[in-house]
A and B are shown apart, each in its own frame.
Chain A
Amino acid sequence: MQKKLFLLDAFALVFRAYYALIRNPRVTSKGRNTNAQFGFTNTLIDLITNQKPTHMAVCFDTSAATERHTDFADYKANRQETPEDISSAVPDIKKIIEALNIPVIAIDGYEADDVIGALAKQAEKEGYEVFMVTPDKDYGQLVSENIKIYKPPYQGNTYEILGPKEVCEKWDIERVDQVIDILGLMGDAVDNIPGIPGVGEKTAAKLLKEYGTLENVLENAANIKGKLGEKVAAGKDLALMSKKLATIITDISAAEFHEENFRIKEKNEYALREIFEELEFKTLGKRLLGEGAQTPSAATNPDGGSTKEATQNVQMDLFGNIIEQPQQTPSAVANPDGGFGNNSFTADKNINNTPHNYILANTQQLITDLTNKLNNEKEICFDTETTGIDANNAELVGLSFSVKKGEAYYVPCPPDKDECIKLLHKFQPLFNNKLITWIGQNIKYDMLMLKWYGFELAGNIFDTMLAHYVIEPDGKRSMDALSEKYLGYATVHIDELIGKKGKNQGSMRDVEAEKIKDYAAEDADITLQLQHVFLPQLKEKEVEKIFYEVENPLVKVLTAMEFEGIRIDEQFLNDYSKELEREAKIAEESVYKQAGVRFNLASPKQLGEVLFDKLQLDPKAKKTKTGQYATGEDVLLKLAAQNKIVDDILVFREYTKLKSTYVDALPLMINKKTGRVHTSYAQAVAVTGRLSSNNPNLQNIPVRTDRGKEIRKAFIPRDKDHVLVSADYSQIELRIVAAISGDVNMCEAFTYR
């Protein structure tokens, strides 16, 4: 078997990881930013699983000055100060590497690239295929037939492997050892290597084509015509020093390649678990430590939208399904709860070690006692148990109530709808009492459930999920996460009742009431306790106005809108689907005609071969991880202007996507009971305060193209007595800018029209 050694440039990768996640920072329950740890660990795991190295080591720079610093005081002097989140991440990262039993190497007086260079050369002699894992272009000078640069994937791109051919192409040079000549001539802004002032990459390459080496260029300064010759002559010393600075030192006696030390070994699970727990790497922990992927309770539980959290920064299709995972949130791939913060490992309280009094109210007498008791209350915490997460299709299984910490009631509901309504009637005086404030976690769901049975809550609403939304717009807020973060309490997991998510998951309906009682009563109890925590915080953070005047009152409005739904013209969608299919077919045929061959247009592999091998549309076409040509939209858009065939491919893709994602999918969303589509609004997701919607996701219905706009024709009035009305704010954001900036000219533009 070919021996494969991977040498990682730790800091370069850590920095990259940190910035890749900067838009969606990972923050632990204690407020630590773990971008760097998370991103780096993912890169490491990805390498081990997908590249299957036999040997590996991670190299760090040290804080000791290197020869380069002593030679040239300005070396790397322009570097930004390292963000504190990164420097504080380094000890964790070292712990993780060590727990994976991978050697950490740092040699005083040398930078990581020197150490990697030295190790790579030794390993090459011993017959290894060496990959230097780094985004840094300077490594080009070390590349050979058996030593390559592995550039990890970044921002949605695939990884790249650069051998001598690629390096030479990149710099437009003939031999890789000219990389240092190039860098010497042009300098390197990143490392503050000066180079010759006024000489850039192209000029440097041109000079080297003629003279071969930097030294030879300098010697021939007199022969170089015009200004350039003057520049070269004047920059001689700088150039020589720059070349020296850019040269990676591979002769380091302290760097020794030990085959056995570098061999990939078993990981230290205990140590890994410990550090992952500290960093709250839940999903990674499960993936690596073999507990199997668990589904979070909230995914099957409407109380607080952990499914919504996961979709927060992810592109979604019409129905809120994730269609594209941005590279920067790799955790979301494995686990719909985003993997973090939900069950952090910090909660040490749970139902078994916490005093509680959870009461099953399943007889006439007990229910009467309960309603009498509740009738005297001003605030009642309320929750429902149901058969599913879609309130428009689920049935009530039970109700739970709590008015005092540690004490809660669970009332099972009969499966028969009429019987259930009879039971609910006993609670009607409560539901109708305008003086009662109802506390709930994502109470819109529970209100929607009640509405399907014909009941509404007349009083005010206090939604703990929304309270948290205004207190901490960026945070995670599934009930489990909030409970652990604010109460240090791990709730009963829904998996314990109905099993893991998936087709074998059971129904709440089949679980005995006594067993549901603990789970359901606990939910009401915990929600009440969360309200106690949030109440003072709303005041302290001065967000009471937005909470009491906007978010809470909106809950009833959204409940009513979701309940109504909208009628969909199925016939139109059927016809439109056929039309799109027909036109996609025309575009497809046109592609085959121009290609001179029939192939599977839906196959990126075959498409890539036709465009780039057969038709040679782009000699520099890029390949993906799997070795096939990249044929993503960005790639094709660049080629579309000059090539009709590419234009046709884009048309084919647009139409087939419109068809499958929207036109064919929308009818499937129609509710059987009502014949209408009931969009669900997410009120606590967008950090700016905007609403978002799922099933279907209205924001995603295309508006830019005419073909996309047509989809709106499918939304129609309920019957012939109605018409659809649409009201739209015009230029609202600009008006707000004018108003809050007070810019006189801009205000006038809106005032006098």
Chain B
Amino acid sequence: MRYKAKSVNFGIIYGQGAFGLAENLGIPRAEAKEIIDNYKKQFPNIQKYMDDTINFCKENGYVETLMGRKRWLKDINSANFTVRGFAERNAINSPIQGTAADMIKLAMIKIHKEFATHKFKSKMLLQVHDELVFDAHKDELEIIKPVILNCMQTALALPNSVPTDAEIGEGKNWLEAH
């Protein structure tokens, strides 16, 4: 179900349309259209954001993340709709993906610094998708957990007071910890 919900959210945001959404979820096109219409009604500013982003890109030739990571999309003004369509989807996708990347990178830098300052024996080991994996010394476990969460949650403040949230778990292997 969560997989489905996620597809809906992003499918709409990235402009795949009713056809793409129906394909992805294996549902009739009419149903997909209804989902999209409802979604747009529920979140009226999303469409405006998408339009504004594309217009910004058309004018400036690039889009950017909260940290100013840029992506230049020269095809955004192409006369050909297929070419332009790719660029438009990238224009919407890149700031979102890129901001998530900025955020976890900043969190890693912060965590690394904190661990060094406190001379923790625990180590940060892996980064994959939106996840960080650590070797935590048992003596430090309860100390480092709030440190990690705090670094992740404060790495990059989002506008409009939207909070970021991170979850943490432990275990005798990665599957159990996740």
Contacts and interface: CB of A to CB of B under 8 A. Distances in A.
Interface of A: 19, 22-23, 80-81, 83-84, 470, 472-474, 541-543, 545-546, 549-551, 553-554, 556-557, 560-561, 564-566, 569, 679, 681, 686-691, 693, 698-699, 701, 709-710, 712-718, 721-747, 750-751
Nearest to B104: A729
Contacts of A747: 160-162
Interface of B: 9-10, 13, 42-46, 48-49, 65-72, 78-83, 86, 93-106, 108-109, 112, 122-139, 141, 144-145, 148-149, 152, 158-178
B11 to A, nearest CB: 13
Nearest to B164: A735
Q: Which of B78, B170, B178 has its CB near the most chain A CB atoms (within 10 A)? A: B178
Contact of B170 (A470, A557, A725): A725
A716 B173 contact: yes
A546 B102 contact: yes
A518 B129 CA distance: 41
Contacts of A686: 101
A81 B68 CA distance: 35
B96 A733 contact: yes
Contacts of A565: 125
6 contacts: A564-B124, A679-B126, A688-B94, A717-B136, A725-B122, A726-B170
Given A725-B134, A733-B10, A546 B69 contact: yes
A687 B93 CA distance: 11
A553 B178 CA distance: 27
A258 to B, nearest CB: 37
Nearest to A19: B82
B106 to A, nearest CB: 6
B159 A751 contact: no
Contact of A712 (B67, B112, B173): B173
B96 A81 contact: no
A689 B101 contact: yes
Contact of A742 (B134, B159, B164, B178): B159
Nearest to A553: B109
A576 B72 CA distance: 46
A689 B109 contact: no
B164 A732 contact: yes
Contact of A728 (B103, B167, B170, B172): B167
A699 B129 CA distance: 7
A566 B168 contact: no
A613 B175 CA distance: 44
Given A727-B134, A730-B165, A743-B43, A713 B175 contact: yes
B147 to A, nearest CB: 10
A749 B159 CA distance: 15
Given A736-B100, A737-B46, A473 B71 contact: yes
B45 A726 contact: no
Given A693-B128, A724-B134, A739 B148 contact: no
B42 A745 contact: yes
A721 B158 CA distance: 37
A737 B95 CA distance: 9
B125 to A, nearest CB: 5
Contacts of B83: 22, 83
Contact of A566 (B86, B135, B159): B135
A613 B136 CA distance: 58
Given A474-B72, A557-B112, A735-B162, A724 B45 contact: no
A709 B135 contact: no
Contacts of A713: 173-176
A293 B25 CA distance: 45
By Cβ-Cβ distance, the 7 closest A-B pairs, closest first, are: A741-B49, A743-B45, A739-B158, A689-B101, A715-B174, A712-B175, A739-B162
Contacts of B105: 550-551, 554, 689, 691
A689 B48 CA distance: 25
A717 B171 CA distance: 9
Contacts of A730: 165-167
Contacts of B86: 22-23
A726 B160 contact: no
Contacts of B96: 733, 736-737, 740
A659 to B, nearest CB: 18
Contacts of B160: 738-739, 742, 747
A689 B69 contact: yes
Contacts of B162: 735-736, 738-739, 747, 750-751
A718 B130 CA distance: 23
A699 B95 contact: no
A741 B49 CA distance: 5
Contacts of B172: 716-717, 723-724
